[in-house]
Amino acid sequence: MDKTEINALLNELGLEAENSGAFDGTWLDTQGEWLESTNPTTGEVIAKVRQATAEDYEKVAAQSVEAFRAWREWPAPKRGEIVRQIGDALREYKDPLGQLVTLEMGKIYSEGLGEVQEMIDMADLAVGMSRQLFGKTMHSERFQHRMYEQWHPLGPVGIITAFNFPVAVWAWNACVAAVCGDSMIWKPSEVTPLTAIATTKIAQAVLEENDAPPIFGLAIGGRDIGEVMTADSRLPLISATGSVRMGRAVGQVVAGRMARSLLELGGNNGLIVMDDADLDLAFGGILFGSVGTAGQRCTTTRRLFLHKDIAAGVIERLVKSYPTIRIGDPMDDNTLMGPVIHEKAIEDMMAAIETAKEQGGEVLVGGNRIDRPGYFVEPTIVKVPGQIPITCDETFAPILYVMEFEDLDEVIELHNAVPQGLSSSIFTNSMRTAERFLSHAGSDCGIANVNIGTSGAEIGGAFGGEKETGGGREAGSDSWKAYMRRQTNTLNWSTELPLAQGVEFDL
């Protein structure tokens, strides 16, 4: 995109060359330091954002408490109707917002559109949820008593998001939190502030049309604002997406003030190919999983386990295919892989490749930075002698570590022997092998797939992972329960006061 096209896009989304990064129902005249949003495809600045200061955060938080008090009075299906309209507004802006995701984050345009589609899907799902925030009724052990549980709005929710899904993760949280009756404060990644401002404007316009309270607060900044928010005792829930390092810090602070955290952290996802697998199917799964989004999905395939009888053929096919992957401008329809997010991501990738070599790894293909403006790298395959220390870490770049195995027990053991537990997959045509992988004695991850890669989850299920991935679950199924508080009610309509467990207490 040239400068004129970029300016037209910013204009269409209500963005300017200089923007406020704090919103409490009005855009605050913040005096925080300037943040430059950079296009990873060119390394050029797209626009500037003034970060929220701690004082700005205070205004946003105070307003969020007010908005919560008003919003929780709205019946849930009416809240759902607002989210339905937000879904419609996102449909209207799908194209420009998808372009902005691509411009600011660097994922290919088809994935930029896919990300906005995920927001729309979340809105649709949440509208349905708004009439299904069910509580159970129980039979009381006491005569003429009724016992049941209800789910109430929780409060203002803090949402911290990562750069790689700059708007979808907000929608996973925001659409559900909104129907649950919560207000929220969003602290997006400091690397992708423009998509956050554009999204907030789209959602706020819907609230204004409906005279709804300003439930979508925004405080843009780095770790410092995240830390202020995490420590804020007005927020009963902090939903944080990002690295394990960040989650460990956030989780401890939130636990220290006895509030809830919902952590969606790093993955180190393994894909197993058995000797009976459909290898064409497996090849497609490996390729999208390892190269898609330039290796910058939490569900990216990072470890490939190949049965020794098919390993040579699969490796040969991958090594031939990797150099043919069309790398370039993510706005170009032909491109399959765009840039990584910034210079530091390239440094981290190169350091990981060096470490892998020191630990016995052999680079089979790729391994270099591409000499052009912006932050482009070659997708890389490293053959490793087994699980070495570097394969137990998540490097957020397109590096695929390949190792061989002999039998299912061995590979399940290897697969699970990392600290993270997000997504996993196996390619096999054996029903027994598939079921074993999905069983309690199989994958230890939050997501386990058969004949599908590790990447690209649907929103209908609960998304998240175990171990250092943080244990949080978002999006579909009963994930909404994290955004509400449960209350158990017992109502006595008799004329006696019997105590539970038959306890007698008479004067």
- Enzyme catalytic residues: 264, 298
Question: Smallest Cα–Cα separation from 340: which of 293, 395, 273?
Answer: 293
Q: State the CB neighbour count (10 A cutoff) for residue 18.
A: 10
Q: Does 272 bind ligand NAD (CB under 6 A)?
A: no
Among 135, 222, 461, 498, binds ligand NAD (CB under 6 A): 222
Selected binder of ligand NAD within 98, 155, 226, 366 (CB under 6 A): 226
Site size toward ligand NAD, by CB under 6 A? 29
One residue of 24, 115, 118, 190 binding ligand NAD per CB under 6 A: 190
- CA angle 170/175/180 to nearest 5° reads 125
- Round to whole Å and give the CA distance between 473 and 459: 11
Task: Give residues with Cβ within 8 angstroms of 179, minimum separation 6.
Answer: 76, 79, 80, 83, 126, 127, 129, 130, 133, 480
Q: Is 246 in the site for ligand NAD (CB under 6 A)?
A: yes
Using the rule CB under 6 A, which residue among 30, 164, 239, 455 binds ligand NAD? 164
Q: Give the whole-angstrom CA distance, residue 56 versus residue 33.
A: 12
Minimum CB distance to ligand NAD, residue 118 (Å): 12
Count the residues in the chain. Answer: 507
Q: Within 410-449, which residues bind ligand NAD (CB under 6 A)? A: 422
Distance (Å, rounded) from C-alpha 465 to C-alpha 264?
7
- Give me the DSSP letters along 201-226: HHHHHHHHHTT----EEEE--SHHHH
From candidates 53, 230, 261, 424, binder to ligand NAD by CB under 6 A: 230
Using CB under 6 A as the binding rule, whether residue 94 contacts ligand NAD is answered as no
Nearer to ligand NAD, 232 or 394 (CB): 394
CA distance 221 to 200: 15
Rounded to an integer, what distance in angstroms lies between the CA atom of residue 363 and that of residue 354? 10
- Indicate the DSSP class of residue 89: H
Nearest in space to 314 (alpha carbons), one of 349, 361, 364: 364
CB-nearer residue toward ligand NAD: 15 or 240: 240
Q: Are 36 and 192 in contact (CB under 8 A)?
A: no
By CB under 6 A, residue 405 contacts ligand NAD: no
Residue 138 beta carbon to ligand NAD: minimum distance, rounded to whole angstroms = 34
Encoded tokens for 380: 């890389």
176 in contact with ligand NAD (CB under 6 A): no
* 384 to 403: interface string for ligand NAD, x by CB under 6 A: ----------x-x-------
Q: Which is nearer to ligand NAD, 87 or 470 (CB)?
A: 470
Instruction: Write down the least CB distance from residue 268 to ligand NAD, Å.
Output: 9
Edge-to-edge strand ranges of the sheet holding 44-50: 18-20, 44-50, 34-39
Binding window for ligand NAD (CB under 6 A); candidates: 62-70, 81-89, 219-227, 447-455: 219-227
- DSSP secondary structure code for residue 262 in this structure: E
Nearest Cα neighbor of 380 from 319, 452, 446 is 319
Told to check if 264 binds ligand NAD by CB under 6 A, we report yes
Closest by Cα among 51, 45, 52 to 7: 45
Residue 168's closest CA among 324, 299, 31? 299
CB 401 within 8 A of CB 384: yes
- 199 is a contact residue toward ligand NAD (CB under 6 A): no
Kindly state the smallest distance separating residue 469's Cβ from ligand NAD, in Å.
6
Binds ligand NAD by CB under 6 A, chosen from 266, 295, 339, 379: 266
Contact status: 453 vs ligand NAD (CB under 6 A): no
Binding track over 287-326 against ligand NAD, x by CB under 6 A: -----------x----------------------------
- Per rule CB under 6 A, is residue 232 in the interface with ligand NAD? no
Q: Site for ligand NAD (CB under 6 A): which residue of 21, 106, 155, 242? A: 242
Q: Does 165 bind ligand NAD (CB under 6 A)?
A: yes
Which element (helix H / strand E) includes 270?
strand 269-273
- Of the two residues 146 and 481, which places its CB atom closer to ligand NAD in the complex? 481
Contact flags string 101-140 toward ligand NAD, x per CB under 6 A: ----------------------------------------
Q: Which residue is nearest to ligand NAD (CB)?
A: 226
- Binding region for ligand NAD (CB under 6 A) out of 60-68, 175-183, 263-271, 328-336: 263-271
- Specify whether the CB–CB gap between 219 and 187 falls below 8 A: yes
The residue (of 249 and 450) whose beta carbon lies closer to ligand NAD is 249
Residue 436 CA to residue 438 CA, distance in Å, equals 5
Q: Does 482 bind ligand NAD (CB under 6 A)?
A: no
List the one residue out of 176, 178, 180 whose CA is nearest residue 152.
180
Query: What stretch of H or E contains 432?
Result: helix 431-438
Q: How far is the CB of 301 from ligand NAD (least distance, A)?
A: 13
**Min dist. Cβ of residue 313 to ligand NAD (A):** 31
Q: Are 489 and 150 in contact (CB under 8 A)?
A: yes
Composition of the chain by helix, strand, coil, percent to 5? 40, 20, 40
* Residues found near ligand NAD in the complex (CB under 6 A): 160-165, 187, 189-190, 222-223, 226-227, 230, 241-243, 246, 249-250, 264-267, 298, 394, 396, 422, 469
